[in-house]
Chain A
Amino acid sequence: EVQLLESGGGLVQPGGSLRLSCAGSGFSFTTYAMNWVRQAPGKGLEWVSRITGGGFTSYADSVKGRFTVSRDNSKNTLYLQVNSLRAEDTAVYFCAKSYYYGSGSSPMDVWGKGTTVIVSS
């Protein structure tokens, strides 16, 4: 069974940092691009970042320069380093697997349950 499990969320003060992790299992992790999507309380979905199996990255304008996506294919794990956190970054952060293998554009077919980040003093 294909599964994704996020961890690393928590309560952090404005300006602080966290590293979110997403462990994948049940599929060939290396061959799929992976995404981070977030959802603020009571709000819609916001795509945050994407990384291909080879490490090519892209970011939403709202997080560019503050967030860094990476992956360790040997550990089947995706990361999101979130720095300079603001109140508006408070959200559930989901990792999601690309439907198509390879580095091309793709919808997201498998999602984790999410990890919650709260930015507050």
Chain B
Amino acid sequence: EIVLTQSPGTLSLSPGERATLSCRSSQSINSNYLAWYQQKPGQAPRLLIYGASSRAIGIPERFGGSGSGTDFTLTISRLEPEDFAVYYCQQYGNSLYTFGQGTKLEIK
């Protein structure tokens, strides 16, 4: 099983600031099959990024993904009030998918 470790656990920032979230894998992820999701309280997750760096349909340009192999990053260039949520990375590079434990992005 591929274990994904996200850091930090909680990130406290203000609107307008830049957010950098990390996801580290226990082994190299095939073809950079790494996705990022956003989840707000009481809602289902929303796909933001797939293939490590491709934005899903309708996702604003302020969301960007990067990385390869075992180290991946989600960057939100300029935080909007609606961006405060929990973010999960997920690998789909082998037949047993796994999620990271999540990073909570909270308003400072």
With beta carbons under 8 angstroms apart, the residue of A35, A44, A109 that contacts B88 is A44
- The reply to whether A50 and B100 form a contact with Cβ atoms under 8 Å apart is no
Are A114 and B44 within 8 A (Cβ)? yes
* Contact yes or no, A47 B50, CB < 8 A: no
Of chain A, the residue at the smallest CB distance from B30 is A105
Of residues 68 through 93 on chain B, the ones whose CB sits less than 8 Å from some CB of chain A are 86, 88, 90, 92-93
Instruction: Classify the secondary structure of A's interface with B.
Output: strand
Chain B 92-108 against A: per-residue CB contact (8 Å), 1 yes, 0 no? 11111111111000000
Which one of A45, A108, A112, A113 has the greatest number of beta carbons of chain B within 10 Å?
Answer: A45
Chain B: interface residue count, which band? 20 to 34
Q: How large is the interface on A (under 10, 10 to 19, 20 to 34, 35 or more residues)?
A: 20 to 34
Interface assignment of B19: CB less than 8 Å from any CB of chain A: no
Asked whether A46 is an interface residue with its Cβ less than 8 Å from the other chain, the reply is: yes
CB <8 Å contact, A107 and B90? yes
Q: Is the C-beta of B45 less than 8 angstroms from some C-beta in chain A? A: yes
CA–CA, A44 to B99, complex, Å? 8
Assuming A47-B90, A107-B50, is B1 touching A61 (CB within 8 A)? yes
A19 to B97, CA, bound (A): 22
**Set of chain A residues within 8 Å of B13, measured between Cβ atoms:** none
Determine the chain B residues whose CB is within 8 A of the CB of A60 once the complex forms: 96
Q: Which chain A residues (22-47) contact chain B, with CB distance < 8 Å?
A: 35, 37, 44-47
